Chain A
Amino acid sequence: EDQVTQSPEALRLQEGESSSLNCSYTVSGLRGLFWYRQDPGKGPEFLFTLYSAGEEKEKERLKATLTKKESFLHITAPKPEDSATYLCAVSMAGGTSYGKLTFGQGTILTVHP
């Protein structure tokens, strides 16, 4: 069964304290892995897409990496405004799963000033 698991469920950091969020997946034929940010009361906001192992993407203090089994979202010197829920999702290739995003349960990140 296709699964996406994120860890930790919640992460508290001090401002400037770098860390990483993990997304592990077991899918038959990965088409793409997506990272989203969700603020309270809002819809998920797209951050990155990764398509193949070894690929990396960066945006400001965020860097996403991908291996054959997992993805990491590295947060360098976070600020309080980075506080949000970070969601990982995968898109599978072919079959009845083609075209849908399967989400992990999310990591709630809180950055204290």
Chain B
Amino acid sequence: DTAVSQTPKYLVTQMGNDKSIKCEQNLGHDTMYWYKQDSKKFLKIMFSYNNKELIINETVPNRFSPKSPDKAHLNLHINSLELGDSAVYFCASSQYRGDTEAFFGQGTRLTVV
């Protein structure tokens, strides 16, 4: 039973399209995150939600909009996709904000063509 699951695992789409990535955690954690890993494997935080409340919103284009319908789910919607959005996006969760280890999903490889 996967702790943090993301769908889809691969996403290939054309420039200008809108797409969503879904994430679910069954660990009962309070905090969820979206991270972006670029081609150089550098992992950088994008957003964090704690009990459905947005608590971290890094410098990310407005085209990226997270949504947390409940504590166990955090989705990422991306409008008007650009070539530079191509990356691997990871969802993660932790029991508390930054105090405990984060558990990561398997990632969604987004390719914009």
> Are A101 and B102 also in contact (CB < 8 A) when A42-B107, A43-B90, A43-B107 are?
yes
Q: Which residues of B contact A49 (CB under 8 A)?
A: 100-101
Interface residues on B, range: 20 to 34
Residues in B73-113 with C-beta less than 8 Å from chain A? 90, 92, 97-107
CA gap between A16 and B102 in the complex, in Å: 30
How far is the CB of B56 from the nearest CB of chain A, in Å? Answer: 5
Choose from B41, B98, B103 the contact partner of A106 (Cβ within 8 Å). B41
A91 near B99 with CB under 8 A, answer yes
> Are A42 and B55 also in contact (CB < 8 A) when A32-B99, A99-B31 are?
no
Choose from B42, B98, B105, B106 the contact partner of A91 (Cβ within 8 Å). B98
B68 on the interface (CB 8 Å rule)?
no
CA gap between A41 and B44 in the complex, in Å: 17
A99 near B50 with CB under 8 A, answer yes
How far is the CB of A91 from the nearest CB of chain B, in Å? Answer: 4
Residues of A within 8 A of B (CB): 31-32, 34, 36, 38, 41-46, 49, 85, 87, 89, 91-92, 98-103, 105-106
Query: Can you sample 24 A-B contacts with CB below 8 Å?
Result: A31-B99, A32-B98, A32-B99, A34-B101, A34-B102, A38-B41, A41-B106, A43-B4, A43-B90, A44-B104, A46-B103, A49-B101, A87-B43, A89-B43, A91-B98, A91-B99, A99-B31, A99-B50, A99-B98, A101-B98, A101-B102, A103-B43, A105-B41, A105-B42
The list of the 3 closest CB pairs from A to B, nearest first, reads: A43-B104, A99-B97, A91-B98
Residues of B within 8 A of A (CB): 4, 31, 33, 40-45, 48, 50, 55-56, 58, 90, 92, 97-107
